[in-house]
Structure 1
């Protein structure tokens, strides 16, 4: 098989890149290790920056989002005793959109199906070859047979554990990482949201977050120790702990019920450089991981897709390789800006095991500054809503 761009990874970033390329008349093939049902069954983030929203519209997969998504103009930050609102729209002129990753992926699958896009699922033993040559190719196994795809470029959209980043020589690859000593226990419940704007709550018992998927589907989180087994958390224990960590006026309104999904995600900050080596580009989680505090993960993947799509479009349509040559530097600059924001917000809002009284007072002072200073709010809002592409 021959294509112009071989995309390794059929999550939202790989599908979005394939969709944009198709609309520009550039051929691609997507290889995905899992089944379609598995990809669609993953529960992930659902808060989109304005740039991501615009990119989905550009890809012609924004109609359902525009009809059913929830526009989010602000956030609520909770301290030990009360919460306060930061008006993101008033401070930046931009809004966020609450629209789940599962819904985005479904819309992208529907679009690729309608346009006859090639997405190969259950592709095992995927391996890129010839990355430092002018004739790269990818091999994979399916149904007991090895297949080969010859291409011009390879986009590694296969996540943190994928093969793409591992294909860059260790003498070239540089990695930066911080592991946080806690995780997020998240539940999905068919209950009305306690607030229609995302709540970030810092409490002496630990961090908590409230978000929504729709008017009767809520996503809630509490900070738990690193390595905590999810089996330790019954529904009753979760609700008691969540209620204790959020401002009292919201706790009084909280509607609880059975959870339909429960999992624990570890937190890390991670970045790999360079994001391009030879004919390989790294996109999304293949190159960087941020804590979910501030909802930057999916949005960073979208900005990577934007930069790579524009680079490939200029290469094929205008015979201009400036975007190809500048992709790694341009994408990484935005990554590190978001990395700094997520690290800062995580550090301010969470309890750390070795935290002193002084450390806690500093956190409280940061939150108090956010509450009382419009300048601090404006700086935070600018980063929260996302840097322009």
Structure 2
């Protein structure tokens, strides 16, 4: 089998790249380790930056998002039991769209099906090879048979644990990482959201986030110990703790109910440099991870896909290789800015075990400055709605 671009990873970033390439007449094959049902069962965040929304439209998969997504003009931030609003629309004339990652993935699958795109599931032992030559290829095991795909380029969209990043020799890559000393306990409940917009809360008991998927599906998080297990938390205990961490005006409106999903996610900042080695290009979680505080995981992957798709388009349809040569440089420049924003949001809103009384005063002063300073609010709005590509 031969294709122009072999894409390892059938999540939203790999599917989005494949669909965008299709719009420019560039052939691709997507290899996914899991089944389609498994991929669609994964619960992920769904706050889409302006750039991600535009990419979905460019890929021809924006119709359902525009009909069913929730456009948010701002967000709420709480500390000392009080809330203040960052008004994206009035500050910088931009918005975000709340539309679940599962729905993004579903729309992309439907588009690839309609176009006759090749998305192969249950691909085991995926192994990109010949990446430092002019003839790269990928081997994989499927249905008990070893298959081979010859290609011009390999796009590694296979997440943190995939084989793509590991294919870069250790002496050719450098990894930067910070792990945070807490996790997020999250639940999904068939209840109306407590607010029309997201609420990010700093509390003396720890961080909390009130989010949503739609009018009757809410997503809530609280900071927890890494040693906790979801089984340690009954639904009632979760709701009681959430009420303690959000302002009283929100707690009084909170509608509770049984959880339909409950999990704990650790928080990590991670970047791999470079994002290109030979004919291999990394994108998304294969190259970088952000803590979820700033809603940047999927959005940062989308920015990678923008740069990579543009580079492939210019290579195949314009005979210009400069964008391919500069892919890692351009992608990393934006990634580090996104890492800074996600780190800042995390450090300002969470309680750390080693914080001194002085540290807590500085954290409170930073949030008060944000509340009272329009320039600071504009900077947050620009980062949250998405820096330009």
TM-score computed with the length of structure 2 as normaliser: 0.99
Residue 226 (structure 1) shift: 1.6
Kindly provide the CA deviation profile for residues 74-131 of structure 1, in whole angstroms up to 9, marking residues without a partner as x.
0000002211111011111110000000000000000000000000000000000000
Residue 237 (structure 1) shift: 0.5
Alignment of 1:165 with 2:189, yes or no, is no
Residue 242 (structure 1) shift: 0.5
The equivalent residue for 1:373 is 373
Q: Distance in 2 between matches of 1:166 and 1:28?
A: 22
Alignment of 1:331 with 2:328, yes or no, is no
Residue 385 (structure 1) shift: 1.0
The equivalent residue for 2:260 is 260
Q: Distance in 2 between matches of 1:294 and 1:176?
A: 19
Structural mapping, 1:65-214, within 5 Å? 65-214=65-214
Kindly provide the CA deviation profile for residues 135-186 of structure 1, in whole angstroms up to 9, marking residues without a partner as x.
0000000111100000000000000000000000000110000000001011
The equivalent residue for 1:311 is 311
Residue 355 (structure 1) shift: 1.3
Q: Distance in 2 between matches of 1:206 and 1:114?
A: 46
Q: Distance in 2 between matches of 1:113 and 1:379?
A: 40
Structure 1 ranges of 4+ moved more than 3 A: none
Q: Distance in 2 between matches of 1:21 and 1:29?
A: 11
Look up the SS of the partner of 1:86 in the other structure: strand
Q: Distance in 1 between matches of 2:302 and 2:227?
A: 30
The equivalent residue for 1:10 is 10
The equivalent residue for 1:294 is 294
Kindly provide the CA deviation profile for residues 225-248 of structure 1, in whole angstroms up to 9, marking residues without a partner as x.
123111101100000000100011
Q: Distance in 2 between matches of 1:28 and 1:113?
A: 13
Structure 1 unaligned regions, length at least 5: none
Kindly provide the CA deviation profile for residues 277-317 of structure 1, in whole angstroms up to 9, marking residues without a partner as x.
00000000000000001100100000000000000000000
The equivalent residue for 2:31 is 31
The equivalent residue for 2:386 is 386
Structure 2 unaligned regions, length at least 5: none
Q: Distance in 2 between matches of 1:131 and 1:310?
A: 21
Look up the SS of the partner of 2:368 in the other structure: helix
The equivalent residue for 1:246 is 246
Look up the SS of the partner of 1:293 in the other structure: helix
Q: Distance in 1 between matches of 2:378 and 2:316?
A: 40
Q: Distance in 2 between matches of 1:289 and 1:202?
A: 23
Look up the SS of the partner of 1:269 in the other structure: strand
Kindly provide the CA deviation profile for residues 5-64 of structure 1, in whole angstroms up to 9, marking residues without a partner as x.
000000000000000001100000000000000000000010000000000000000000
Between 226-235 and 99-108, the greater mean CA deviation after superposition: 226-235
Q: State how many pairs are aligned.
A: 389
Q: Distance in 2 between matches of 1:167 and 1:357?
A: 46
Cα RMSD after superposing both structures: 0.5
Look up the SS of the partner of 1:171 in the other structure: helix
TM-score computed with the length of structure 1 as normaliser: 0.99
Alignment of 1:283 with 2:283, yes or no, is yes
Alignment of 1:50 with 2:53, yes or no, is no
Look up the SS of the partner of 1:71 in the other structure: strand
The equivalent residue for 1:344 is 344
